[in-house]
């Protein structure tokens, strides 16, 4: 099936004007499948980490949101063991006017501002609420261990 | 949409309507709020049905036509108050989630504001939504452009091509089942797509679905109305029990389709356990299912000769085929002790303190305690299924019997009645174990356990009869009818006791109810 104009335009723009701290490169054999790299935002426990993720544009994109999943292990209350992300714009607040670039920026912002009150990984959220300093230390440890190239 | 069609299509004359049911829907401005004060407990003795039991709540079942009629009635009433045409009133009511009082207040406070936010403002009247072409426009959704491209935007100015707008609405209506509060496709825009815009954009083939969804919002938005959760059921049930009352009452309602469900949480009937405990229990069972399954899978052997025993009926009185040992499937105890004062199959005996001193022992004890209740809970669930299977087999045989002996259909109905009683009693018993798990001991728990035990024995006695050979069943008719009546009686006694004490806050639970 031919790729919709929207996806072609978005991909072109992602290549021509990449977003700071993020890269998204489509697979050659499937242009709806992107290899994503997100750099941990500074001043966050993920600083210095390089996080790999995959992004997939479903058949009904942009009516339906893209599917995004972290591949690098990460200690975060809104990201679970399988790398799935709890983020409103990927679910109920998705708008077809949003784009891959805006979504990736939102994910990067989520790394900078974890939200333990809307958890996906319950155990992590619990620890985050009970002892934030310890949770941040663990997040740093994991970044060091799993997200350093 | 054509307002005349919308409001007349399902109109039934008032007389006809009143005959069909004894509901007071068309009563002046009552709009479903059938004296809600009467639904509480204090007044139940002196009102309406004298036969009402302590565990029963008042409710009414509505069919789709009645729902439509009530809705139309309310629209007509509010329309008269606001001096707005019915079509606009319907939009306003849906916009404010059918909260009539809030709508009237808001309308009095700021008429223009509310009309504007519902998409009915001045601008909409003088400047109705329309499809236009815009020079140099590029659609943010499909990235198409060109002078031929039809576009649409609401007052918020988020403009997209008509194709994308339509597809967006299609997704919302068809896939997500939204209708009354679809938001603008623009990122972060909270403007609701008003009905005039929808009329302009929604394709013919979606109109019916859209109308249906609009009707559904009426029930969805009303706190005292709920759809029956049975698959394909079209009825809604009205009940005055409020969320905050759910700690004190378990509101089981009975739909016209035959389904018993909880008005508080829409799950299958779970009396006597309150909704909050049911939620906790189901969560716990889910979390612990591996442990529990392991245990129940490993207890299926004869306690005496250890040969594997398969359970093929609902009855828990087991007889080992090999050694003829008779035992209870639930507690694996000797059956002869059941039904005597020794019987303690339902009660969990707490170990004395000295045995459970260290943490490991404590955690083992807490697992044991959980398994005690879980096994009984799961067992009644399973037994209810097996009872049903065996009944279906019996039913087939009874049909043959009817054909060969000339017994009438009426004469075999006692089996059907007995089977239904078994199902219902096992459902209740099942939940008594979840209830008991969270119950802290006080002077009332013993009475509860006795009631539970009595019901359980009655149920096992009846269940056992289903396993009798078919030629004996005929002769057991009177006995079986007696046992059925006794089961029902024990169930009512248990439910009345638990409901009465729940209402008065006499139960103490070992978890918080929130
Ligand atoms: Zn478009
Ligand atoms: Zn908008
Ligand atoms: Zn129903
Ligand atoms: Zn409930
Ligand atoms: Zn045996
Ligand atoms: Zn037993």
Q: Measured between CA atoms, how close is B183 to chain A, in angstroms?
A: 9
A6 — contact with chain B (CB < 8 Å)?
yes
Q: Say how far apart CA B318 and CA B331 lie, in whole Å.
A: 11
What was the ipTM of the complex prediction?
Answer: 0.84
Q: What is the 3-state secondary structure (H, E, C) of A73-122?
A: CCCECCECCCCEECCHHHCCCCCCCCCHHHHHHHHHHHHHCCCCCCCCCH
- In tens, the pLDDT along B146-167 reads 888 999 998 889 999 999 999 9
Whether A29 contacts chain B with CB within 8 A: no
Active site residue B315: yes
In the reported structure, the alpha carbon of residue A95 is separated from the centroid of ligand 2 by a whole-number distance in angstroms of 10
Check if A9 contacts B (Cβ < 8 Å). yes
Give CA–CA dist A5/A10, Å, rounded: 9
Q: What is the pLDDT of residues A4-24, one digit of tens each?
A: 999 999 999 999 998 889 999
Residue among A5, A60, A98 minimizing CB distance to B142: A5
Residues of A labelled as active-site residues = 86
**Torsions phi, psi for B225 (to 5 deg):** -125, 145
d(CA A52, CA A39): 9
Question: Which ranges in B337-469 belong to alpha helices (H)?
Answer: 359-405, 413-438, 445-465
- Judged by CB atoms closer than 8 Å, whether chains meet at A102 and B158 is answered as no
Distance B117 CA to ligand 2 centre (A): 12
CATH (residue range B83-221): 3.30.40.10
Average pLDDT estimate for B410-426: 87
The residue ranges of every structural domain in chain B are 2-51, 83-221, 234-284, 289-358, 361-503
Residue B104's Cα: distance from chain center in Å?
A: 32
CA of B142 to nearest chain A CA: how many angstroms apart? 5
pLDDT at A34 over 90: yes
Which residue has 């941040």 as its token pair? A136
Q: With 70 as the cut, is the pLDDT of residue B438 above it?
A: yes
Interchain contact, B141 vs A102, CB within 8 Å: no
Strand partners, B390: none
When mean pLDDT is compared over B54-58, B185-189, B285-289, B334-338, the highest value belongs to B54-58
Mean pLDDT of B455-484: 87
CA distance B173 to chain A (A): 12
Give every CB contact of residue B408 below 8 A, 6+ residues apart in sequence: B402
Mean pLDDT score across all residues of chain B = 81
Rounded Cα distance between B273 and B251, Å, is 10
With 0-12 CB in 10 A as exposed, 13-18 as middle and 19+ as buried, what is B146? exposed
Q: Write down the pLDDT at residue B216.
A: 81
Provide DSSP, A10-71.
HHHHHHHSPPTTEEEEE-SS-TTEEEEEEEPPTTSTTTT-EEEEEEE--TTTTTSPPEEEE-
Of all residues in chain B, what percent carry a pLDDT higher than 90?
40
The alpha-carbon gap from B144 to the nearest alpha carbon of chain A, in Å, equals: 7
Q: Which fold has domain B361-503?
A: 1.20.120
Residues A95, B186: C-beta atoms closer than 8 Å: yes
B222 or B297: which leads in pLDDT? B222
Q: What is the pLDDT of residues B93-150, one digit of tens each?
A: 988 889 999 999 999 999 988 887 777 776 666 777 889 999 999 999 999 998 889 9
Alpha-carbon torsion (B111, B112, B115, B120), positive or negative: positive
Nearest ligand for residue B249 CA: 4
Cβ-contact A148, A50 below 8 angstroms: yes
CB within 8 Å: A63 and B189: no
Asked if A58 reaches chain B (Cβ–Cβ under 8 Å), the answer is: no
Q: Is the model's pLDDT at B19 over the cut of 60?
A: no
* Model pLDDT, residue B290: 58
Strand partners, B317: B328
Q: Report the separation in Å between the CA atom of B295 and the middle of ligand 5, taken as the mean of its atom positions.
A: 19
Residues of A in contact with B140 (CB under 8 A): 97
Q: Report which of B310, B482, B473, B286 is spatially closest to residue B382, judged by C-alpha positions.
A: B310
Chain B interface, mutation test: which of A63, A91, A98, A122, most B Cβ atoms within 10 Å? A63
Q: In this predicted model, which residue has the larger pLDDT, A16 or B296?
A: A16
Are residues B144 and A64, on separate chains, in Cβ contact within 8 Å?
A: no
Report the C-alpha gap between A97 and A62 in whole angstroms. Answer: 8
For residue B186, the ligand closest to its alpha carbon is 2
Say which CATH topology domain A5-147 has: Ubiquitin Conjugating Enzyme (3.10.110)
Domain boundaries, given as residue ranges, for chain A = 5-147
Residues of A in contact with B143 (CB under 8 A): 5-6, 8-10
The string of DSSP letters for B105-127 reads: HHHHH-HHHHHHHTT-SHHHHHS
Q: What is the pLDDT of residue B291?
A: 62
Alpha-helical runs (H) found in B58-206: 64-82, 86-95, 100-109, 111-117, 122-126, 162-170, 195-201
């Amino acid at each position: 099936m031919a790729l919709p104009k929207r996806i072609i335009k978005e991909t072109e723009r992602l290549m021509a004007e990449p977003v700071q701290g993020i890269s998204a490169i489509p697979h050659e054999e499937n242009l709806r499948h992107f290899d994503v790299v997100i750099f941990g935002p500074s001043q966050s426990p993920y600083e210095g980490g390089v996080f790999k993720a995959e992004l997939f544009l479903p058949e009904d994109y942009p009516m339906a949101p893209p599917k995004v999943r972290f591949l690098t292990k990460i200690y975060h209350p809104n990201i679970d063991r399988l790398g799935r992300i709890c983020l409103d714009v990927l679910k109920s607040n998705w708008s077809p006017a949003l784009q891959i670039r805006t979504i990736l920026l939102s994910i990067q912002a989520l790394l900078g501002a974890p939200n333990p009150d809307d958890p996906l990984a319950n155990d992590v959220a619990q620890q985050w609420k009970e002892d934030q300093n310890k949770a941040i230390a663990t997040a740093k440890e994991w970044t060091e261990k799993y997200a350093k190239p | 949409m054509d307002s005349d069609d919308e409001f007349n299509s399902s109109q039934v004359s008032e007389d006809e309507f009143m005959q069909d049911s004894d509901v007071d829907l068309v009563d002046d401005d009552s709009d479903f709020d059938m004296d809600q004060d009467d639904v509480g407990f204090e007044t139940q003795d002196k009102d309406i049905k004298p036969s009402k039991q302590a565990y029963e709540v008042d409710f009414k079942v509505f069919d789709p036509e009645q729902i439509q009629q009530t809705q139309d009635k309310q629209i007509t009433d509010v329309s008269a108050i606001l001096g707005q045409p019915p079509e606009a009133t319907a939009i306003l009511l849906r916009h404010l989630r059918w909260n009539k009082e809030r709508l009237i207040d808001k309308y009095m406070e700021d008429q223009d504001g509310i009309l504007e936010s519902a998409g009915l403002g001045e601008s909409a009247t003088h400047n109705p939504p329309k499809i236009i072409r815009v020079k140099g426009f590029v659609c943010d959704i499909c990235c198409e452009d060109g002078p031929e491209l039809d576009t649409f935007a609401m007052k918020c100015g988020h403009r997209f091509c008509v194709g994308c707008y339509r597809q967006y609405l299609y997704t919302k209506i068809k896939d997500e089942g939204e209708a009354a509060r679809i938001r603008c496709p623009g990122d972060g825009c909270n403007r609701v797509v008003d009905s005039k815009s929808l009329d302009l954009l929604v394709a013919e083939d979606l109109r019916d679905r859209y109308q249906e969804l609009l009707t559904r919002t009426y029930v969805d938005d009303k706190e005292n109305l709920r759809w029956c959760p049975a698959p394909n059921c079209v009825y809604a049930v009205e009940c005055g029990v409020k969320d905050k009352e759910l700690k004190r009452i378990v509101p089981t309602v009975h739909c016209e389709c035959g389904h018993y469900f909880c008005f508080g949480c829409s799950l299958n009937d779970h009396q006597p356990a309150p909704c909050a405990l049911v939620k906790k229990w189901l969560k716990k069972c889910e979390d612990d299912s591996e442990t529990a399954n392991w245990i129940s899978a490993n207890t299926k052997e004869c306690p005496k000769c250890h040969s594997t025993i398969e359970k093929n009926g609902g009855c828990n009185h087991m007889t080992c085929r090999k050694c003829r040992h008779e035992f209870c499937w639930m507690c694996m105890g000797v059956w002869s002790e059941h039904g005597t004062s020794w019987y303690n199959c339902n009660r969990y005996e707490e170990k004395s303190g000295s045995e459970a001193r260290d943490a490991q022992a404590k955690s083992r004890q807490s697992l044991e305690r959980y398994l005690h209740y879980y096994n009984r809970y799961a067992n009644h669930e399973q037994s209810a299924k097996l009872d049903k299977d065996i009944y279906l087999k019996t039913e087939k045989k009874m049909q043959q019997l009817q054909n060969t002996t000339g017994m009438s259909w009426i004469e075999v109905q006692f089996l059907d009645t007995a089977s239904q009683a078994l199902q219902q009693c096992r459902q209740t018993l099942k939940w008594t174990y979840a209830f008991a798990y969270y119950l802290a001991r006080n002077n009332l728990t013993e009475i509860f356990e006795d009631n539970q035990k009595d019901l359980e024995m009655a149920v096992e006695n009846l269940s056992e009869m289903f396993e009798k050979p078919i030629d004996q069943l005929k002769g057991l008719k009177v006995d079986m009818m007696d046992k059925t009546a006794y089961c029902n009686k024990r169930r009512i006694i248990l439910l009345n006791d638990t409901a009465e004490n729940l209402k008065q806050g006499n139960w103490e639970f070992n978890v918080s109810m929130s």
